[in-house]
């Protein structure tokens, strides 16, 4: 009998992260989700039982990132896939040039870039031990076409896409694939709140008027992540896959 795959999804209990978690669970995998408050994973645990484990994760805590990955690996008996989904995003992340300060920069970059890199570095020894695996970074279309009022967020996601390129090239020798997935406007409720916040602050959205296919759903991102982590995606690494309904076209 084939061993269930061992998956880690940061921020895997809510929104896009939950859709990714459930896509893997549907395939028979076991999943550890990392959340600042593990209690938010209770609905998942009630639904899927022991196949889901929730552990505390604060991406701003360097030592905590390593501890989380090692604890997840111990719980799962190893790691086959790491999905770096958790990020500072949505309402509260927008700042105009005149509103950006050092504290805000540290907040966004520590979570969206430093935390992603630290979790990835901690996972590499476990993936090597498994004989290879996949690391997915959830990027954003803002990495390629920034939203007004979100320059630091956009820069953080551009860095995540760059990390996928560098890591994909460097870790190929270890049979570890690294791919960034860049969602466009995904309907989670957070987008509506973000649009409202932008409007209230007099910032014109660059995204909502330019969606040929309309808003996507979390499952649209999750299905792409699942494919990239499957044998069907075996030759995809060191790149960014855009999931945006032709927004960037």
Give the integer Cα–Cα distance in Å for 182 and 143.
8
Provide Rg for the chain, Cα atoms: 17
User: Is 104 in the active site?
Assistant: no
| Of 48, 153, 235, 247, catalytic | 153
Q: For the chain, how far is it from start to end, CA to CA, in angstroms?
A: 44
Q: Kindly list the catalytic residues.
A: 153
């Amino acid at each position: 009998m084939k061993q269930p795959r061992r998956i880690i999804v940061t921020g895997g209990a809510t929104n896009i992260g939950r859709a990714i978690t459930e896509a893997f669970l549907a395939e028979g995998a076991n999943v550890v989700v990392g959340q600042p408050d593990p209690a938010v994973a209770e609905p998942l645990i009630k639904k899927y039982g022991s196949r889901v484990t929730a552990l505390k994760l604060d991406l701003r805590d360097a030592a905590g990132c390593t501890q989380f990955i090692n604890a997840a690996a111990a719980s799962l008996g190893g790691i086959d896939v790491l999905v770096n989904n958790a990020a500072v995003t949505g309402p509260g992340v927008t700042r105009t040039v005149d509103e950006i300060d050092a504290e805000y920069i540290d907040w966004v970059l520590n979570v969206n870039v430093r935390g992603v890199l630290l979790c990835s570095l901690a996972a590499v020894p476990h993936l090597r031990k498994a004989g290879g695996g996949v690391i997915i970074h959830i990027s954003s279309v803002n990495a390629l076409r920034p939203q007004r009022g979100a320059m630091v967020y956009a820069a953080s996601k551009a860095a995540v896409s760059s990390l996928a390129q560098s890591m994909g090239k460097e870790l190929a020798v270890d049979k570890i694939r690294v791919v960034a997935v860049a969602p466009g406007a995904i309907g989670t409720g957070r987008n509506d709140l973000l649009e409202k916040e932008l409007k209230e602050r007099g910032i014109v959205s660059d995204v909502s008027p330019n969606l040929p296919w309309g808003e996507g759903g979390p499952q649209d991102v999750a299905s792409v992540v699942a494919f990239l982590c499957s044998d069907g995606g075996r030759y995809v690494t060191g790149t960014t896959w855009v999931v945006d309904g032709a927004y960037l076209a």
